[in-house]
């Protein structure tokens, strides 16, 4: 009898849970992942992080779900890039427009530090609460670069590098002791453009005059009480107080559910027919290198391999049930050769079905190279893109080696066999080869920009020269077509392909467990796109980066300090 009663009670609880009002919850303290895990290690490291695509699709579906009464988001902890924040902000604004309650809670927007970007996200919510001991680090936008030329000279290390052109500032940290005029001009415009976007968003969200917001930025950071007095937050409360208020608004029987779980549950309940026409979603995340995607088991971010991305694009292109491709790019660039390989696959895919690029936080240098051939490029105002240029060089350790008593000798056949040795500088003849290499890459890059974006070569060069642009400025100049996020790109792809608004999205490469185990039959096999854990680097500059103690990079790369968080 007791066992039967327990079963009945359990069934009743499950029934109530299926019909109870829902409060969707999103915890951003661990950050978000951009796409599906590229390899087994990435899957383990991202277990606690929700996927951006799941969050966006979950919030989109929840707008029409009468069970969903509210959304609560905890903001803080792991910083998010500006473009990703704008994706979330846009989704929250649309969710809020459906008439449902939205609440943001933070323990602190920066603890003895800046918090402008996370606070900007919070202003999209109807109610904004801050823990009484917290702060609002509304301090504005700053980009800072350190120059190590003087330190290298003291150590006896020189750095020989060439670049195309004056705005390609990646090597400046080694070759200059201050910002050049073009360097400062480019960074100043980025800061100005981002500030314009942040001020407009905060002013709209908090119903303040933009001039008042700029005044508050100059006065920040704020203690909790100061922030409430200035109208920057609605109330000071601890988590339990915020959640109690939410449950009162949604009903005592309301059930909390993470947005990502809600999205996955909805996807399972509404599984499309495996032969249904769909949109393919291909993620290209991280630095670009030749070979397969993966990461080192010793840490560091993952990298996209041209073999992996190309195989995914080929598989989507050859699948008759895929009617359009959305290519999600979040990359600072890397190898020129690998970028060109992916560019070719995008070009071939575009010939048979629409290709829409959705840019994340970064789609610059090589990241722009692989994007530019698409039918349409969609970026957020805060995306950093462009950087159409190239650089190359090496450190020279001759003086340092002499100081520490190391003698280096070389035996070689061929006049330039040892030209990339870091124990000696380039000869005049070797510099001719370096400059010819840089000119060839730059000319190819600019020519393909002109061809892909329907620009004259002169106009493409004017927009290039290595300059980094925000998505807002790139939209004005024609390097980007539309401002928006991943959901906008998916909607555009469905429309161009003549699909229904709710047509399914399939992530590529799509591999079943058997394909993962057996390995590829050939380079044309879908499982050729399988990522791996790898310790080796890519490209001719791997040795340079290793000797400098830096991540391996390629000649088309945007420095990491450009990221705005």
Strands (E), 123-232: 127-130, 135-136, 158-164, 222-223
pLDDT at 535: 41
The sign of the dihedral angle between the CA atoms of 386, 477, 93, 508 is negative
Distance from chain centroid for Cα 528: 25
Could you tell me which residue, 79 or 323, shows the higher pLDDT? 323
- Which is it for strands 376-379 and 322-331: parallel, antiparallel or unpaired? unpaired
Q: Which two tokens stand for residue 474?
A: 């790139």
Tens digits of per-residue pLDDT, 144-167? 888 888 888 888 898 888 888 888
245 vs 147: CA distance, rounded Å:
51
What is the bridge-based pairing of β-strands 278-285 and 322-331? parallel
For residues 406 and 321, give the distance between their C-alpha atoms in angstroms, rounded to a whole number: 63
Distance of CA 320 to the CA centre of its chain: 30
Average pLDDT of the segment spanning 251-264? 89
pLDDT digits (tens, 9 = 90+) for 61-83: 999 999 999 999 999 877 899 99
CB 323 within 8 A of CB 292: no
Name the pairing type of β-strands 355-364 and 255-258.
Answer: unpaired
Determine the average pLDDT of the residues in 2-27: 68
Sign of CA pseudo-dihedral 392, 395, 398, 399: positive
What pLDDT is recorded for position 19? 72
Instruction: Please give the pLDDT value at position 528.
Output: 61
Integer-rounded Cα radius of gyration of the chain:
26
pLDDT (tens digit per residue) in 85-134: 999 999 999 999 999 999 999 999 988 888 999 999 999 999 999 999 99
**Residue whose C-alpha is closest to residue 463's, from 451, 446, 448:** 446
CA neighbor of 363 nearest in space, from 351, 373, 353: 373
């Amino acid at each position: 009898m007791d066992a039967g009663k327990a079963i009945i009670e359990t069934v009743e609880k499950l029934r109530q849970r299926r019909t109870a009002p829902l409060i969707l919850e999103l915890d951003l303290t661990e950050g978000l992942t951009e796409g599906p895990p590229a390899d087994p290690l990435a899957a383990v490291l991202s277990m606690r992080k929700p996927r951006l695509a799941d969050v966006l699709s979950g919030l989109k579906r929840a707008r029409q779900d009468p069970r969903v009464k509210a959304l609560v988001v905890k903001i803080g902890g792991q910083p998010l890039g500006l473009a990703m924040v704008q994706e979330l902000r846009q989704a929250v604004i649309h969710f809020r427009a459906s008439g449902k309650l939205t609440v943001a809670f933070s323990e602190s927007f920066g603890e003895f530090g800046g918090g402008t970007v996370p606070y900007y996200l919070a202003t999209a919510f109807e109610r904004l609460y801050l823990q009484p001991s917290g702060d609002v680090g509304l301090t504005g936008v700053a980009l800072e670069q350190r120059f190590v030329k003087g330190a290298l000279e003291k150590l006896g290390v020189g750095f020989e590098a060439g670049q195309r052109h004056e705005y390609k500032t990646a090597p400046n940290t080694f070759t200059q002791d201050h910002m050049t005029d073009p360097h400062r001009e480019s960074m100043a415009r980025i800061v100005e453009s981002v500030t314009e976007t942040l001020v407009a968003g905060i002013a709209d969200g908090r119903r303040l005059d933009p001039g008042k917001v700029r005044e508050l930025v100059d006065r920040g950071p704020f203690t909790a009480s100061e922030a409430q007095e200035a109208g920057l937050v609605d109330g000071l409360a601890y988590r339990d107080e915020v959640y109690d208020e939410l449950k009162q608004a949604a009903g005592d029987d309301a059930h909390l559910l993470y947005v990502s779980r809600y999205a996955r549950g909805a996807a399972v309940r509404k599984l499309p027919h495996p032969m249904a026409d769909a949109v393919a979603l291909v993620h290209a995340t991280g630095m670009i290198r030749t070979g397969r995607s993966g990461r080192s088991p010793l840490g560091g971010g993952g990298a996209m391999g041209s073999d992996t991305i190309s195989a995914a694009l080929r598989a989507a292109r050859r699948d008759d049930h895929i009617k359009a491709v959305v290519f999600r790019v979040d990359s600072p660039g890397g190898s020129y050769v690998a970028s060109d390989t992916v560019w070719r696959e995008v070009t071939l895919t575009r010939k048979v079905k629409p290709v829409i690029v959705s840019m994340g936080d970064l789609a610059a240098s090589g990241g722009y190279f692989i994007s530019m051939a698409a039918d349409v490029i969609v970026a957020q105002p805060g995306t950093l893109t462009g950087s159409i240029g190239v650089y190359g060089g090496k450190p020279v350790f001759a003086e340092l080696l002499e100081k520490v008593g190391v003698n280096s000798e070389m035996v070689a056949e061929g006049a330039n066999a040892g030209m990339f040795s870091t124990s000696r500088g380039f000869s005049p003849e070797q510099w001719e080869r370096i400059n010819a290499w840089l000119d060839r890459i730059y000319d190819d890059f600019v020519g393909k920009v002109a061809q892909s974006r329907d620009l004259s070569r002169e106009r493409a060069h004017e927009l290039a020269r290595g300059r980094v642009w925000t998505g807002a400025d790139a939209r004005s100049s024609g390097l980007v077509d539309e401002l928006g996020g991943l959901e906008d790109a998916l909607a555009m792809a469905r429309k161009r392909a003549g699909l229904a608004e709710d047509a399914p999205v399939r992530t590529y490469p799509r591999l079943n467990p058997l394909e993962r185990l057996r390995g590829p039959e050939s380079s044309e096999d879908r499982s050729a796109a399988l990522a791996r854990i790898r310790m080796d680097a890519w490209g001719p500059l791997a040795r340079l980066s290793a000797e400098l103690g830096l991540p391996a990079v390629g000649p088309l790369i945007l420095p990491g300090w450009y990221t705005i968080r």
